[in-house]
Structure 1
Amino acid sequence: MKTERLLAITMILLDKKQISASQLAKTLEVSVRTIYRDIHSLSEAGIPVTTLPGINGGIQIMDNYKIDKNFFTSSDITSLLIALESLSQNVSPIQINQTFEKIKTLIPANFLEEIEFKSNQIAIDLTPWTSNHTLQPFLEIIKTAMDQSRSLCFDYEDNHGRKTKRIVEPYRLVLKEISWYLQAYCLEKEDFRTFKISRIQNLAFSSTFVPREFKAQPLGHEPFYGKKFTLITLKVTNKIREQLVDKFGPLHYSPYKDTEKLIVSFPFMEDDFGYNLLLSFGNQCECLEPPHVRAELKSRIENLLELYQNN
């Protein structure tokens, strides 16, 4: 972790020329004391980093300094290549090729074969099983808008089916599981909002804007805030066990009598997402308790059956 942080500090200094310790600490989410220890480590490694006191002071790196190829280990460059490869399906191939070429200039000749071998040991494929053909063009438009500080206008449909027209200032693209999200300032709501890209239609550029202060917020916590979990017990097959591990991590399983099925308990959120998740497992999963969750599942199944019987 420290090596990655030292590399990040070096790249920030090469880009910004000068920055305060407090700004670096905020950016890297560490203490100011840690930043000063890292600066000392960089100096000991031979990188010409200096600190200037005063109001207009800060941390800077010597002009015209270039990173020595030996500064990067084979593991550092392998990690960079794997990360780039994982995004290659969603980012412009031209941009990827240009970045690859730049990184290759950092590889000492005696490391080339080793790095190529290591980078082929891990493959990260972030593309969904079924592709959305509108996704790639939308990502390119949004990225261009962020680079040029141009606002975007589009039609948006929320998860309740409500359709609205939005004009937003784009600030951040986020990939969460298999879905892309846009974090932007909505001029209609006069606040920051998160938009799911797959719900956007008729995306187009609008006027330029002056970027405002944006504090990135992680996705994934909002839907669970203030909600209670219910401990449920399921009878599942080995096939479902793998899917549960993927979604919830290691769980404790016990055999169910003399069958090949298993018993497992885990915290369950009683909302549409939770019930739809259980129903998506079909006859590979049965809720045993508590009774009210089992009854709700039965009611939903009966409603679905009624729908098909009526038609």
Structure 2
Amino acid sequence: MNRIDRLTAILIQLQSKRVVKAQEVADRFGISLRTVYRDIRALEEAGVPIGAEAGISYFLEDYHLPPVMFSNEEASALLFGAKLIGKMADESLREGFESAFYKIKSVLKRAEKEHLEDLETRVAVLARRRNEPFSLNVLNEIQQAIVRQQVLCIDYVANFQSQSSQREIEPIGLVHYSSHWHLIAFCRLRGDYRDFRTDRIQSLTNTEQFFPKQNLLMLQAYLDRLRVQEHLEEVTLWVHKGAALFMQEQRYIWGFISEESHDKYIKMKFMTQYFEGMGRWLMTFGKHVSIESPQKIKEMMQTLALEIQEHYLQPY
């Protein structure tokens, strides 16, 4: 990227949020902090009113760029985002993104519009929502409460429970994993942080009560604490390359961390605490998977295999 394009991109980045750290600019463009300082000075000399906070952060003072034109690649990336949101978000978010996408398409050049129209029929996301009906359309309301630090009251059905319980919670973030959205919040009933799957929320009400932000963990701090608390153990597998092709999506659910290619096999390493669940998953790959370690998951696989054998030897 030449310097003129980079200066324009930096200006757009400064307009994208209230305050932008110099390190964020350096990381985005792969340049040194000294180069960032020179680029900021160049924009200031060009008449752009840039304010600074302690010399490490920058912000624009009542300055806006004219409508931005998107490149072909940027427009295509937005289309991919729209396809993913269509499968991974509820109606409240889909409507907001669809409205924003129409506005974006309205400023595209004719060639980019034609490109999107052609590409739209050739890109599909087939991920199923499984048991997550998104009937409540809660994601938009949840994210509003997170930003405003407002207490939510929910009726929640916990795992392996048939009855719901009412909880007052202080939300700190949303995380998507294992094909579901999870609301991370401080639960006043339990007196600790909890992970609530959004498809198990039967009803949600914003109490309009505010909670002090300083009393809560940040989302990343919660996730880091969770990793420390988990008693994870390493599992090493040898997987035939033909079978490994069918593991690509689900392996991350079971803590996949690395792989090495060896002739006809791939050596995979996982970090997990859910040995029975992982064992039942590995059973679906039959003789195409061999377990190197630990011994206890080998023994679990033997138990599962005997369980299946005994089941099918029963007369019916």
- TM norm structure 1: 0.68
Give the aligned partner of residue 112 of structure 1: 113
Mapping for residues 24-39 of structure 1, pairs under 5 Å: 25=23, 34=33, 37=36
Query: Which structure 1 residue ranges, 5 or more long, are not aligned?
Result: 256-262
Distance 1:39 1:164 in 2: 57
Give the aligned partner of residue 15 of structure 2: 13
Give the aligned partner of residue 259 of structure 1: none
Q: Contact conserved, 2:238 with 2:290, CA < 8 A, in 1?
A: yes
CA 1:4 to 1:160, structure 2 compared with 1: closer, same or farther past 3 Å?
farther
Distance 1:285 1:208 in 2: 55
Q: Contact conserved, 1:172 with 1:184, CA < 8 A, in 2?
A: yes
- Percent identity over paired residues: 16
Q: CA deviation at 1:287?
A: 3.6
Query: 1:97-132: per-residue Cα shift (whole Å, max 9, x none)?
Result: 31112212331344322344456554445x426352
Give the aligned partner of residue 98 of structure 1: 99
Q: Contact conserved, 2:145 with 2:152, CA < 8 A, in 1?
A: yes
Query: 1:218-243: per-residue Cα shift (whole Å, max 9, x none)?
Result: 86994685523133445x583x3322
Q: CA deviation at 1:78?
A: 2.2
Q: Does residue 298 in structure 1 map to residue 302 in structure 2?
A: yes
Q: CA deviation at 1:37?
A: 1.0
Letter in 2 for 1:87: I
Q: CA deviation at 1:83?
A: 1.0
Give the aligned partner of residue 78 of structure 2: 80
Count of residues in correspondence between the two structures: 295
CA 1:129 to 1:196, structure 2 compared with 1: closer, same or farther past 3 Å?
closer
RMSD between superposed Cα atoms in Å: 4.8
Give the aligned partner of residue 230 of structure 1: 235
CA 1:289 to 1:185, structure 2 compared with 1: closer, same or farther past 3 Å?
closer
Q: CA deviation at 1:134?
A: 4.1
Mapping for residues 189-200 of structure 1, pairs under 5 Å: 189=190, 191-200=192-201
CA 1:132 to 1:52, structure 2 compared with 1: closer, same or farther past 3 Å?
closer
Letter in 2 for 1:82: F
Q: Contact conserved, 1:182 with 1:194, CA < 8 A, in 2?
A: yes
Q: Contact conserved, 2:14 with 2:58, CA < 8 A, in 1?
A: no
Letter in 1 for 2:219: A
Letter in 2 for 1:230: V
Distance 2:279 2:208 in 1: 43
Q: Contact conserved, 1:6 with 1:42, CA < 8 A, in 2?
A: no
SS for the counterpart of 1:66 is coil
CA 1:98 to 1:36, structure 2 compared with 1: closer, same or farther past 3 Å?
farther
CA 1:166 to 1:124, structure 2 compared with 1: closer, same or farther past 3 Å?
same
Distance 1:228 1:184 in 2: 27
Distance 2:156 2:245 in 1: 35
Mapping for residues 94-243 of structure 1, pairs under 5 Å: 94-118=95-119, 122-125=123-126, 127-128=127-128, 130-134=130-134, 137-143=137-143, 145-146=145-146, 149-156=149-156, 158=158, 165-189=166-190, 191-210=192-211, 212-213=213-214, 215-217=218-220, 222=226, 227-233=232-238, 238=242, 240-243=243-246
CA 1:27 to 1:88, structure 2 compared with 1: closer, same or farther past 3 Å?
farther
Mapping for residues 249-268 of structure 1, pairs under 5 Å: 251-252=260-261, 254-255=263-264, 263-268=265-270
